[in-house]
């Protein structure tokens, strides 16, 4: 029997982040590798710059007029905690509830039409959702009696369990990228089943493998010619939940004191990268492509505050033979493997700096291990994992 996959998400084709990029890759891989599914995406039209990823695809994308931000999210941002940078929790929750309610109403109408068509064509339906609007999507799936799966890709369900509990606990399977995050989900929610689908990273699209050695040699020569031979540490993407308070209040000031020759380079742009650049040892590098980041640094640093979703940037760094230092929550230990060091959650800034020095003193060895470990994330393997989850639900 043919299946129709209904993908209900806040946004997908604009690819504003790694979660959207990962789901897009899985859907395109499903389209290419399985003849059992017709795929329809339901999302907001509020992201004006489309990615063109789906231009040559049969995947249908239908958009609603629900705005992604509103008065409440704006006010929550303006009243954010000045130390952590996090939006005001109460107003953020009001925003999430409102958007999920609006999304549910729109999807309810769309799904009622699709169910009639599916019944006529003897077609089975299965839903997929993730991130901020997954509560509204799951409510619509439940209302239409459509089984669904949901991805946990960030900490929104942990920050607002009362909003997302029904979504996760009624899903046929909750999908995460690593076993560590699976444990965090199972500790918080009473779910039916959890599945592992690793991040689908196509390293050839990150940077051509055949040019990799030449790029690393070019970067080393550039650094030498420009006297950039001091220890250089990269942070890729700076938002409140990715260690801003720890870096700002603890690590960077202590780094200036303990290891003044080391510099910290923040990539991705934004207000929090700018805030960190107030320190003399920290540089806001703005947006750069991966090949403009990792070859010019020695160590990649990635910290999450509470929920250990998989850091794709860890394995991208490993592709360029750059080790990572991260934190031992959720999936981060799996992401780093032997290609770096993971720190206990309560480690001090001094302990982080000490371990960064350990990596720096053995850069070649850690770099080789990071390059080998990159293969834990692979597009083909991840697509196969995704198809197995779908088939398992479909045939249950």
Is 248's pLDDT higher than 70? yes
| Cα distance between the two ends of the chain | 13
**Is pLDDT of 50 > 80?**
no
CA within 13 Å, CB half, 257 = 7
b/e sequence 251-287, b meaning 16+ C-beta within 10 Å: bbeebeeebeebbbbbbbeeebbebbbebebbbbbee
Per-residue confidence (pLDDT) for residue 15, from 0 to 100: 62
| Tens of pLDDT, residues 201-213 | 999 999 999 999 9
User: Among 11-15, 70-74, 120-124, 233-237, whose mean pLDDT is lowest?
Assistant: 11-15
Of the candidates 38, 61, 42, the one whose C-alpha atom is nearest the C-alpha of residue 106 is 42
DSSP helix/strand/coil, 173: strand
Per residue in 356-383, pLDDT tens?
A: 999 999 999 999 999 999 999 999 999 9
Question: What confidence score (pLDDT) does residue 396 get?
Answer: 74
Nearby residues of 68 by Cβ (< 8 Å), 6 or more positions away: 10, 11, 44, 46, 47, 99
Query: How far apart (Å, rounded) are the C-alpha atoms in residues 210 and 279?
Result: 38
Q: How far apart are CA 396 and CA 389, in angstroms?
A: 11
Q: Where are the domains of the chain?
A: 3-200+378-394, 203-376
pLDDT tens-digit series, residues 154-204: 999 999 999 999 999 999 999 999 999 999 999 999 999 999 999 999 999
CATH class held by domain 3-200+378-394: alpha beta
The pLDDT of residue 43: 95
282, pLDDT greater than 70:
yes
| Helix count and strand count (H, E) for the chain | 17, 13
Instruction: Please give the pLDDT value at position 36.
Output: 84
Residue in the block written with tokens 């509020």: 46
d(CA 190, CA 27): 27
pLDDT at 56: 85
Does residue 52 register a pLDDT over 90? no
Q: How far, rounded to the nearest angstrom, does the alpha carbon of residue 19 sit from its chain's CA centroid?
A: 4
Check residue 51 and give its pLDDT: 67
Residue 54 pLDDT grade (very low, low, confident, very high; cuts 50, 70, 90): confident
pLDDT tens string 222-243: 999 999 999 999 999 999 889 9
Q: What percent of the chain has pLDDT over 90?
A: 85
Q: What is the pLDDT of residue 395?
A: 80
CATH tag for 203-376 (out of 1.10.1060.10, 3.40.640.10, 3.40.50.2000, 3.40.50.720): 3.40.50.2000
pLDDT in tens, 4-33: 999 999 998 766 678 898 999 999 999 999
Any idea of the CA torsion for 173, 177, 180, 181, to the nearest 10 degrees?
Answer: -60
Q: What is the pLDDT of residues 304-333, one digit of tens each?
A: 888 878 889 999 999 999 999 999 998 999
DSSP-assigned letters across all residues of 222-286: HHHHTT--S-EEEEE---GGGTHHHIIIIIHHHHHHH-TT-EEEEES-SHHHHHHTTSTTEEEEE
What does the angle CA 58 – CA 60 – CA 61 come to, to the nearest 5 degrees? 140
| pLDDT of res. 81 | 87
Per-residue model confidence (pLDDT) at position 82 = 81
Distances (CA, A) of 124 to 11, 106, 394: 24, 21, 8
Q: Do domains 3-200+378-394 and 203-376 have the same CATH topology?
A: yes
Average pLDDT, the chain: 94
Q: What pLDDT, on the 0 to 100 scale, is given for residue 1?
A: 61
Site of tokens 């860890």: 314
């Amino acid at each position: 029997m043919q299946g129709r996959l209904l993908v209900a998400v806040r946004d997908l084709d604009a690819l504003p982040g790694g979660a959207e990029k990962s789901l897009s890759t899985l859907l395109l891989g499903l389209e290419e590798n399985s003849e059992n599914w017709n795929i329809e995406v339901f999302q907001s039209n509020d992201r004006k710059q489309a990615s063109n990823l789906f231009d040559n695809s049969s995947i249908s994308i239908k958009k609603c007029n629900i705005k992604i931000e509103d008065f409440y999210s704006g006010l929550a941002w303006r009243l954010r905690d000045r130390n952590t940078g996090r939006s005001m929790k109460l107003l953020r929750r009001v925003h999430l509830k409102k958007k999920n309610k609006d999304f549910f109403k729109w999807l309810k109408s769309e799904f009622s039409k699709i169910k009639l068509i599916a019944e006529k064509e003897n077609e089975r339906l299965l839903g997929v959702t993730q991130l901020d609007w997954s509560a509204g999507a799951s409510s619509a799936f439940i209302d239409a009696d459509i089984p669904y799966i949901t991805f946990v890709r960030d900490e929104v369900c942990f920050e607002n369990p009362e909003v997302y509990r029904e979504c996760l606990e009624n899903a046929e399977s909750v999908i995460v990228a690593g076993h560590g995050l699976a444990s965090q989900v199972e500790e918080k929610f009473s779910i039916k089943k959890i599945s592992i689908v690793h991040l689908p990273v196509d390293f050839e699209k990150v940077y051509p493998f055949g040019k990799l050695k030449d790029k690393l040699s070019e970067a080393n020569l550039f650094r030498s010619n420009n006297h950039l031979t001091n220890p250089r540490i990269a942070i890729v993407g700076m938002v409140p939940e990715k260690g801003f308070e720890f870096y700002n209040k603890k690590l960077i000031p202590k780094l200036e004191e303990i290891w003044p020759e080391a510099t910290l380079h923040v990539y991705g742009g934004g207000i929090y990268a700018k805030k960190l650049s107030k320190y003399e040892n920290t540089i806001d590098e703005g947006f750069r492509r991966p090949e403009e980041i990792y070859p010019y640094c020695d160590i990649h640093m990635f910290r999450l505050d509470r929920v250990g979703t998989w850091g794709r940037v860890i394995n991208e760094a490993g592709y360029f033979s750059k080790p990572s230092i991260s934190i031992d929550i959720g999936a981060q230990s799996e992401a780093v493997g032997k290609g770096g060091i993971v720190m206990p959650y309560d480690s001090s800034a001094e302990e982080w700096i000490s371990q960064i020095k350990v990596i720096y003193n053995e850069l070649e060895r850690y770099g080789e291990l990071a390059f080998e470990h990159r293969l834990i994330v692979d597009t083909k393997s991840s697509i196969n994992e995704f198809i197995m989850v779908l088939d398992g639900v479909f045939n249950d």
